[in-house]
Amino acid sequence: METPLPNWIELPRDITINILKRLDTLDIVTSVCVVCPLWWNICKDPLLWRTINMMREISLSYFDTRLQKICRYAVDRSSGYLKDIYINEFATNDLLHHIANRCIKLEECHGISSQVFSEAVKKQPFLEELDIADCGFIGTEFFEYIGQCCPLLKSLKFRPSFEERDKCDDIAFVIARTMSKLHHLTILNNGLTNDGLLAILDGCPLLESLDLRGCRHLDLDGSLGKRCNEQIKELRFPTEFVDPNSSFIDYMNLESDSISNFNFDISIFF
């Protein structure tokens, strides 16, 4: 005799929320919301939207305006409880203005200007975590501004765009001077040299983890390498492989089945 399938509708509300929040935002907006009235009601809970994850590769990725609408909808649903948001190249100045978050993670956001991003960061003095990859607006002035406006920043992940990869020592000097409370630092695939790394070690005494993969100009065979091993608990070396086409932003890649429409009109996004 086959074991009967569990009735998901009968699960306690808190357990259902815990399960649903593990899905990515696109699944929640386009599928979960339309399953039944109970799930539609649960999807109104702001706690379900504490993390907005829109990094998954999807067939609609070239419809940027649709993704922007979905992202805005999710941000509005969070009602001020938004903690983490993961977005990529569909981000724009207007969308960033719409986002109020404590943890910012952006990848390949060439549609955002330095001025608009700076204005958004200025409103987040308690920002603790910042991930930036392949964004054309970043440079020494950008990091100087981040260091001044976000004194509580603890984690910085940075992969420069191609145009900025030879300026990493200058950026390292700014990080060392303005981000003394960093605990975690990732600098991938760039032209950082021993001078820049030494400045970081001197200026960031609280640093616990340091990821230097792909920084081929570093020479850690001598005293600098010894100091890194003594000062840093978790060290990733320049010679370690990092896929140049991959994202360093960790995100869920959960799939879900398509579900027929309920009374929530998802056509507003399309």
Structural domains of the chain, count: 1
**Could you tell me if residue 13 is inside a domain?**
no
Mapping DSSP to helix (H, G, I), strand (E, B) and coil, where does residue 84 land? strand
pLDDT of residue 249: 45
CATH number at residue 133: 3.80.10.10
pLDDT of residue 141: 85
**Could you tell me if residue 234 is inside a domain?**
yes
CA distance 19 to 10: 13
pLDDT of residue 145: 87
**Could you tell me if residue 47 is inside a domain?**
no
**Could you tell me if residue 214 is inside a domain?**
yes
User: The domain containing residue 119 runs over which residues?
Assistant: 102-245
pLDDT of residue 161: 64
CA distance 213 to 30: 37
- Residues in CB range of 115: below 8 A, 6 or more apart: none
**Could you tell me if residue 158 is inside a domain?**
yes
pLDDT of residue 136: 60
**Could you tell me if residue 148 is inside a domain?**
yes
pLDDT of residue 210: 97
Per-residue pLDDT tens digits for 185-211: 999 888 899 999 999 999 999 999 999
Q: Which residues of the chain have pLDDT under 50?
A: 100-102, 107-108, 110-111, 248-264, 266, 270
**Could you tell me if residue 3 is inside a domain?**
no
Mapping DSSP to helix (H, G, I), strand (E, B) and coil, where does residue 20 land? helix
CA distance 170 to 140: 7
Q: Is the pTM of this model over 0.85?
A: no
**Could you tell me if residue 173 is inside a domain?**
yes
